[in-house]
């Protein structure tokens, strides 16, 4: 059996039969259950999450585009859910009807799946991105498109401000 322990193993050491199953879990306190979607497994998958709970992810046409690589902690995912306006809009309407300011939370997980033997190479996710919230959303009769982003991870100032008054020796560096 092939073992892929993390995303680094997947990209560097896995064989061609191992594919990446990307999943999204979208939840809100007003929804009865979270939406659990897998991108590229038409039968859906049942997996063990990182907290040892079992979960089932259903297949819905889904496109996940990662944001640009940057030097800060900000992460974004641009997501298009091909739900034909049936799944996401009624749940968003529940939030609007309740006049809630709480944004839906998004958890991205990826699993390594061996297509040759039709099993996961590791029972738990090989990559997890937490702390994402639905930032922007558009919907039409074909799909719901939204951006999941971190909430201000890079907005806190840390460290000292260097200025010439407190550090006169800086003038020699300019």
Q: DSSP string of 12-69?
A: HH--TTEEEEEEEEEE-TTSSS-EEEESS-TT-EEEE-TTS-EEEEEE--EEEEE---
The pair of three-digit structure tokens given for residue 144, joined into one six-digit string: 């719901």
Running DSSP on this structure, what letter comes out for residue 170? G
Close Cβ partners of 21 (under 8 Å, ≥ 6 residues apart): 38, 39, 40, 41, 45, 110, 111, 112, 113, 120
Residue 99 forms part of a structural domain:
yes
Residue 11: inside a domain, yes or no?
yes
* Number of folded domains that form the chain: 1
In a domain? residue 32: yes
> Tokens in use for 113?
């799946």
pLDDT tens digits, one per residue of 103-154:
888 898 888 888 777 888 788 888 888 888 887 777 666 667 777 887 655 5
- Mind listing the pLDDT tens digit for each residue in 29-41? 888 889 898 888 8
Question: Does residue 29 lie in a domain region?
Answer: yes
Query: pTM of the full predicted structure?
Result: 0.74
Q: Does the residue 2 lie in any domain? A: no
Which domain does 69 fall in, by range? 7-173
Whether residue 35 lies inside any domain: the answer is yes
> Per the domain annotation, does 1 fall within a domain?
no
138: in domain: yes
* Average pLDDT score over residue span 65-78: 65
Give the residue from 40, 2, 4, 1 showing the smallest Cα distance to 125: 4
């Amino acid at each position: 059996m092939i073992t892929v322990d993390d995303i680094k193993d997947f990209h560097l050491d896995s064989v061609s039969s191992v594919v990446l199953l990307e999943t999204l879990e979208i939840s809100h306190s007003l929804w009865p259950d979270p939406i659990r979607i897998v991108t590229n497994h038409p039968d859906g998958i049942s997996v063990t999450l990182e907290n040892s709970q079992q979960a089932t992810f259903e297949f819905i046409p889904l496109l996940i585009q990662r944001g640009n690589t940057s030097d800060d902690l900000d992460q974004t995912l641009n997501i298009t859910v091909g739900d034909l306006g049936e799944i996401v809009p009624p749940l968003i309407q529940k939030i609007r009807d309740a006049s809630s300011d709480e944004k839906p939370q998004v958890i991205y997980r990826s699993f390594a799946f061996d297509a040759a033997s039709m099993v996961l190479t590791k029972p738990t996710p090989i990559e997890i991105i937490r702390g994402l919230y639905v930032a922007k959303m558009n919907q039409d009769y074909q799909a719901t498109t939204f951006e999941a982003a971190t909430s201000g991870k890079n907005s806190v100032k840390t460290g000292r401000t260097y200025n010439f008054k407190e550090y006169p020796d800086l003038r020699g560096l300019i």
